[in-house]
Amino acid sequence: MHEKSMSRRRFIGRTAGAIAGVSLTERISARSSGKLVWKEARYYKTLQNGRVQCLLCPWQCIVDPGRRGHCDVRANRDGVYYSLVYGRIASYHNDPIEKKPLFHFLPKHMALSMATAGCNVDCKFCQNWELAQRLPEDIPGYEFSPGEIIALAGRWGSHILAYTYNEPTVFTEYILDIAAAGKKTGLKSVVISNGYINRKPLLDLCRVLDAYKVDLKAFTESYYRDVVGGRLAPVLDTLVTLKSEGMWVEIVYLVVPTLNDQDEEVRKMAKWVGENLGPDVPVHFSRFYPKYKLKNLPPTPVNTLERVRQVVLDAGLHYVYLGNVPGHPGENTYCPSCGKTLIRRLGYQVFENHITNGQCGFCKSQVAGIWHE
């Protein structure tokens, strides 16, 4: 059983109080709500004595009446399992798609990015802990129906809907409804996820999504157990399923000094990606900064990032990037055939793009990605 009587989110809520860590850029047409919204979950089964089993993610929590699952945003009320975050946005913003990061998906387009509370793993380095590691009742919530999200995207000129900041898996039902509504109006949808999700809900998401960015946090089960609070194998299964379903996929690997920065581990990861996903899946090595519960380590040295990037390039992957180092040449996209610079970036900005109709503007070789709406 994976429900918790005192989770880290409850602890944070009690010790931190109402932390002013979430800012909303626009609150028009949103109704402020201090109450939880109870929406029956899609992925669970009923058991004896009023218990339920969640079928959304690999935890497969068995939850007694009146208790919550591992993510703390799903609850059993009288034998019915509910999402507590459907329609309850905690943070939203209009971001460049490069911020996700998605480098091979509609460059320079803006993405209406949204989050609820909650996550289904417990990363010690969590970069968005104010959202991901908090209870929904401890964060100001703003009610948006799927239709209101679509209308907001229109006002902001967003071409993409991005489910991000916290872990989107925990609000899968909401994503399914928003993405389906957005698809009818021509909006694309992307998920920025840890990949810790079961096959059935993942397949349902594949029917309405256009891209999926997965955080592959390391390539050892020990790291996932000790640092992430999860398992590696289900994430690899997610990546294989996404590829088999034809989903555009990009991978981010946060390089944490001394913990997952060894050449051999990175080489094994690159070999696995090449054999199971193919050499055209972009891999982003992101720079770690001390945060949340992992403040005893320094920021990742840039030369470490450069070293692991070269390891993966030497392993035969075509598109390997460095993140959180603005201005580094590792932000750019290079043609794997002729080596010319195709997209020049600085942070989240694109200054040059020499890809035309999915081809290198110099040698006409095909460049993997989704380049046009």
Kindly state whether residue 194 falls inside one of the protein's structural domains. Answer: no
C-alpha 338/C-alpha 261 separation (Å) is 30
Per-residue model confidence (pLDDT) at position 36:
80
**CA-to-CA distance for 351 and 98, rounded, in angstroms?**
12
Which CA distances in Å does 97 have to 100, 179, 350? 6, 16, 11
In a domain, 91, yes or no: yes
Question: Quick one: 220 and 79 in the same domain?
Answer: no
Full-model pTM: 0.92
Which band of pLDDT confidence, cut at 50, 70 and 90, is reported for residue 5? very low
Residues 275, 243, single domain; the answer is yes
Same domain, 49 and 152: yes
Which region among 126-140, 238-252, 339-353 has the lowest average model confidence (pLDDT)? 126-140
Question: Would you say residue 39 has pLDDT above 60?
Answer: yes
Question: 11 and 150 share a domain?
Answer: yes
Q: What's the rounded Cα separation, in Å, for the pair 321 and 309?
A: 7
Average pLDDT, the chain: 92
Share of the chain above pLDDT 70, in %: 91
Four-residue CA torsion sign, 88, 90, 95, 100: negative
Inside any domain, residue 192? no
- Per-residue pLDDT band for 373 (boundaries 50, 70, 90) equals confident
pLDDT of residue 37: 83
pLDDT at 7: 52
Nearest to 319 by CA among 76, 8, 104, 123: 104
Q: What is the pLDDT of residues 201-220, one digit of tens each?
A: 999 999 999 999 999 999 99
pLDDT of residue 220: 98
Residue 24, pLDDT above cutoff 60: no
Instruction: Judge whether residue 103 has pLDDT over 90.
Output: yes
Q: Which residues contact 130 (CB under 8 A, 6 or more apart)?
A: 19, 21, 22, 139
Q: What is the mean pLDDT of residues 332-357?
A: 97
pLDDT band at residue 140 under the 50/70/90 scheme: confident
- Domain at 227, CATH number: 3.20.20.70
Which residues are bridge partners to 255 per DSSP? 287
Among the listed ranges 25-39, 124-138, 196-210, which one has the minimum average pLDDT value?
A: 25-39
**What are the structure tokens assigned to 112, written together?**
């209406």
Pair (327, 346) in one structural domain: no
Q: What average pLDDT does the segment 288-305 reach?
A: 96
Q: How far apart are CA 177 and CA 3, in angstroms?
A: 27
**Domains in the chain: how many in total?**
3
> Are 306 and 220 in a shared domain?
yes
Tell me if 371 sits within 8 A of 103, measured CB to CB: no
Q: For residue 324, what are its two tokens?
A: 């959180």
CB atoms within 10 A of CB 35: 10
Res. 30: pLDDT tops 80: no
CA angle 58, 36, 2 (to 5 degrees): 25
**Cα–Cα distances in Å, from 197 out to 43, 54, 120, 170?**
11, 11, 9, 9
102 domain-assigned: yes
Q: Of 152, 176, 207, which residue sits at a domain end?
A: 207
Could you tell me the residue range of the domain that residue 77 belongs to?
Answer: 1-186+200-207
Place of tokens 């899968």: 172
Closest CA to 98 of 160, 151, 153: 160
pLDDT at 17: 32
Shared domain check, 48 and 76: yes
Q: How far is CA 265 from CA 246, 259, 308, 346, in A?
A: 27, 10, 10, 29
Residues 232 and 365 grouped into a single domain: no
Of 177, 207, 237, the residue that ends a domain is 207
Domain assignment of residue 191, yes or no: no
For the CA atoms of the chain, what is the radius of gyration?
20
Encode pLDDT of 179-197 as tens digits.
999 999 999 999 999 999 9
20 — pLDDT class (breaks 50, 70, 90): very low
The yes-or-no verdict on residue 15 having pLDDT over 60 is: no
In a domain, 193, yes or no: no
pLDDT at site 33: 52
Verify that 182 and 251 share a domain, yes or no.
Answer: no
Q: Is 12 within the bounds of a domain?
A: yes
The one-character DSSP state at 1 is -
pLDDT at 28 over 60: no
For residue 16, what pLDDT is reported?
A: 37
**Based on the domain organization, do 340 and 315 belong to the same domain?**
no
Average pLDDT over residues 26-33: 45
Quick: pLDDT tens for 325-340: 999 999 999 999 999 9
Residues 159, 26 share a domain = yes
Both 160 and 257 in a single domain?
A: no
Residue 152 lies in a domain: yes
Does 14 score more than 60 pLDDT? no
Q: Are 125 and 257 in contact (CB under 8 A)?
A: no
